[in-house]
């Protein structure tokens, strides 16, 4: 993660204040009205079906000439009789049973096959998985409903056999779900840790893997049941299978023929089928929300409303960038705003590098994003001012900001790989940026030439090749050079670098820092460098601002900060650096005289 986004739980947890509630999924489900209503409805329907022999006065196929198209309310025929003189009420109740049995057969077969194969295919590598993949892609290619119709001579019209085959046809969905989950879990280090702890494979599968799979499978089952019921009624509507089993589909089909004379005959089964299916889908959705947390909410990438901040009175603007009393807040779950940056003030001149230092959650990245105008849409700038060359940036619209971004202010991110679009070549993305940031229209060809020159400038050995490469084809160090090239393309006056070397190896880091230093001189840029690494600060920064809990606790030149830190927090951070301390107490097993190591104080600053 490249954002140290506000995470209020982090702090509360450290103090142990967070209540420990493994509130069971069932209890949470009971608090969800959608789940309660739909589950209750389904339960009532199932019970009605089970009680059918008791509730209905007639058998589902019992026909009586007197009851043909009987009106609702006819004694013994609460919902009337159908065109063949059968009791509609009785047929409805028995149809419930047909649906329930269909759902049970199809879902349990799909689950039995899908889950077993998914666990096996997901947990074991290569050959086994190759085999299961093949088998299921074969099943997936089968045109389901058509095959069921085609195989009618084989199934002999019994809907239960048909549903069993349908279960097999549904199993690839479950297989894929389980397999993906298992592969994901298997790569988690906690499964490695369990293996190292001496757990057997079945125990790992049962305890660690199945637990992760359980929730999604339960959810999928609700949808499977719905599909099975829909399919069964569709087949019965077509007239596939024996007419002995009462079913919604058959009733709908009969009602459809009789639609004008007796519309109710059509309405009853349709309504009940619709209700069952809707209840299953809505129950499945409620289950998903409960077990997997609410579905991700869309986050607008651009803030549409006006910035809430009122510019502070325009004081003397010293330097290129001045940030005054900047405060950023996020809405907490309770609805009120929670500040993550509270009154940050800093200034930066051309040709100067300011280090913004702090631990995760200190608000340093939020400050940087505010300057770039790319805070998430839910963030609120509650007060303060950000001025570039005297121009207030807060409150600018997206269009005006676009003129500033890329041209005057540029950005180098932390994680090189995730900051390149994986679907476009390096060259295509850079060309698009160059053309967007250009003040006058520039042809694709000129842009391409410019990009190639830039790639060469940032130290890429074969610019043509890198230009044609996709992000996954280049190394992390190269990707970071590409991003730097993209940032400096329009000769910005301010460069914001957010932990630009954290994801890189130290030898690459040194080269990237050299490059940034050279570019800063060459372009006379101001650089705002966000970092947690005091080594990087010592290497490249002229001045430093130390942040903690959204506030700047200390600002000064780099020499001052390292030589004479004033704030206790800064001192604590500096003391936490392992630095040159080298361990010097000998291992206890050293009696044999293996390995030298001067005795003395345990952790000594090495003399230089």
Give, as ranges, the residues between 243 and 272 that touch other proteins (CB under 8 A): 249, 252, 256, 259, 266, 270
Long-range contacts for 563-568 (Cβ within 8 Å, ≥24 apart)?
none
Judged by CB under 8 A, the residue of 55, 302, 332, 453 near other proteins is: 302
Q: Is 581 in the site for other proteins (CB under 8 A)?
A: yes
Residues 133-152 that bind other proteins (CB under 8 A): 137-138, 140-147, 149-152
User: Are 56 and 73 contacting, i.e. CB atoms less than 8 angstroms apart?
Assistant: no
List the alpha helices (DSSP H) in 56-143.
88-123, 126-141
Query: Which residue, 51 or 142, is less far from other proteins as judged by CB?
Result: 142
Residues 485-514 that bind other proteins (CB under 8 A): 486-487, 489-490, 505-507, 509-510, 513-514
Rounded distance between C-alpha atoms, residue 98 and residue 102, angstroms: 6
Residues 305-364 that bind other proteins (CB under 8 A): 359-360
Residues 113-132 that bind other proteins (CB under 8 A): 126
Written as six digits, the tokens of 356 are: 């913004």
Query: Which residue, 70 or 113, is less far from other proteins as judged by CB?
Result: 113
User: Are 484 and 516 contacting, i.e. CB atoms less than 8 angstroms apart?
Assistant: yes
Judged by CB under 8 A, the residue of 237, 268, 283, 467 near other proteins is: 237
Furthest CA-CA distance within the chain: 110
Q: How buried is residue 407: exposed, middle or buried, by Cβ count under 10 Å (0-12/13-18/19+)?
A: middle
* Options 59-67, 75-83, 104-112, 188-196: segment touching other proteins (CB under 8 A): 188-196
Query: Which residue, 95 or 383, is less far from other proteins as judged by CB?
Result: 95
Residues 36-95 that bind other proteins (CB under 8 A): none
Residues 418-447 that bind other proteins (CB under 8 A): 418-424, 429, 432-433, 436-437
Rounded distance between C-alpha atoms, residue 250 and residue 210, angstroms: 40
> C-beta of 365: minimal distance to other proteins in Å?
11
Phi-psi region of 600 (alpha: psi -120 to 50; beta: other; left: phi over 0): left
User: Are 497 and 357 contacting, i.e. CB atoms less than 8 angstroms apart?
Assistant: no
Judged by CB under 8 A, the residue of 202, 441, 472, 601 near other proteins is: 472
Residues 189-218 that bind other proteins (CB under 8 A): 189-190, 192-201, 203, 207-208, 211-212
Query: Which residue, 70 or 341, is less far from other proteins as judged by CB?
Result: 341
Query: Which residue, 74 or 161, is less far from other proteins as judged by CB?
Result: 161
Q: Which residues of 304-320 are buried (b: 16+ CB within 10 A; e: fewer)?
A: eeebebebbeeeebeeb
Q: Give residues with Cβ within 8 angstroms of 151, minimum separation 6.
A: 165
Torsion angle defined by CA atoms of residues 260, 264, 266 and 269, in that order, rounded to the nearest 10 degrees: 180
User: Mind giving me the DSSP string for 320-375?
Assistant: SEEEEEEEEEEE-TTSSEEEEEEEEEEEE-TT-EEEEE--TTSSHHHHHHHHHT--
Q: Is 467 in the site for other proteins (CB under 8 A)?
A: no
> C-beta of 471: minimal distance to other proteins in Å?
9
**One character per residue 217-236, x = contact with other proteins (rule: CB under 8 A):** -------------xx-xx--
Residues 370-399 that bind other proteins (CB under 8 A): 372, 374, 398
Q: Is 572 in the site for other proteins (CB under 8 A)?
A: yes
């Amino acid at each position: 993660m490249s954002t140290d986004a506000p995470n209020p739980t982090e702090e509360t947890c450290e103090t142990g204040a967070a209540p420990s509630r493994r509130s069971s999924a069932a209890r949470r489900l009971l608090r969800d009205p959608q789940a309660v209503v739909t589950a209750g409805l389904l339960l009532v329907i199932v019970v009605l079906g089970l009680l059918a022999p008791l509730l209905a006065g007639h058998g589902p196929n019992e026909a009586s000439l007197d009851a043909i198209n009987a009106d609702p309310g006819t004694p013994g025929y609460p919902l009337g009789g159908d065109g063949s003189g059968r009791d509609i009420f009785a047929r409805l109740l028995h149809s419930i049973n047909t649906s329930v049995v269909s759902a049970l057969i199809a879902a349990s077969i799909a689950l039995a096959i899908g889950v077993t194969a998914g666990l096996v295919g997901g947990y074991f590598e290569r050959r086994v998985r190759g085999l299961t993949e093949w088998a299921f892609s074969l099943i997936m290619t089968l045109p389901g409903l058509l095959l069921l119709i085609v195989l009618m001579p084989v199934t002999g019209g019994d809907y239960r056999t048909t549903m069993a085959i349908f279960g097999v046809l549904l199993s690839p969905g479950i297989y894929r779900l389980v397999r993906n989950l298992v592969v994901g879990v298997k790569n988690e280090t906690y499964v490695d840790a369990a293996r190292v702890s001496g757990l057997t494979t079945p125990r790992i599968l049962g305890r660690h893997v199945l637990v992760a799979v359980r929730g999604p499978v339960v959810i999928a089952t609700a949808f499977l049941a719905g599909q099975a019921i829909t399919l069964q009624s569709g087949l019965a509507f077509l007239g596939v299978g024996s007419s002995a089993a009462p079913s919604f589909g058959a009733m709908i089909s009969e009602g459809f023929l009789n639609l004008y004379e007796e519309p109710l005959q059509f309405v009853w089964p349709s309504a009940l089928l619709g209700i069952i299916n809707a209840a299953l889908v809505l129950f499945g959705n409620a289950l998903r929300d409960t077990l997997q947390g609410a579905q991700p909410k869309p986050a607008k990438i651009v803030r549409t409303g006006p910035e809430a901040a009122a510019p502070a009175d325009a004081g003397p603007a010293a330097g290129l960038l001045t940030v005054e009393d900047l405060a950023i807040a996020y809405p907490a779950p309770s609805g009120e705003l929670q500040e993550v940056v509270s009154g940050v003030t800093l200034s930066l001149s051309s040709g100067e590098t300011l280090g913004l230092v702090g631990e995760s959650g200190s608000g340093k990245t939020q400050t940087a994003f505010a300057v770039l105008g790319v805070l998430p849409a839910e963030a609120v700038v509650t007060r303060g001012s950000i001025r570039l060359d005297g121009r207030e940036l807060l409150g600018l619209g997206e269009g005006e900001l676009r003129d500033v971004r890329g041209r005057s202010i540029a950005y180098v991110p932390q994680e090189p790989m995730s900051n390149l679009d994986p679907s476009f070549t390096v060259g295509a993305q850079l060309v698009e940026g160059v053309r967007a940031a250009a003040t006058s229209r520039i042809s694709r060809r000129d842009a391409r030439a410019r990009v190639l020159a830039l790639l060469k400038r940032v130290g890429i050995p074969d610019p043509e090749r890198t230009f044609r490469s996709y992000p996954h084809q280049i190394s992390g160090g190269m990707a970071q050079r590409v991003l730097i090239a993209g940032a400096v393309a329009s000769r910005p006056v301010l460069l914001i670098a957010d932990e630009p070397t954290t994801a890189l190896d130290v030898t690459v880091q040194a080269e990237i820092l050299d490059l940034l230093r050279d570019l800063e001189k060459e372009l006379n840029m101001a650089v705002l460098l966000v970092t947690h690494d005091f080594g990087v600060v010592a290497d490249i920064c002229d001045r430093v601002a130390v942040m903690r809990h959204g506030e700047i606790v200390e600002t000064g030149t780099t020499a001052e900060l390292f030589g004479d830190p004033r704030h206790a927090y800064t001192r604590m951070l500096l003391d936490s650096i392992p630095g040159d301390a080298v361990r010097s107490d000998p291992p206890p097993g050293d009696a044999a005289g293996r390995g030298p190591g001067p005795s003395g104080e345990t952790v000594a600053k090495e003399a230089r």
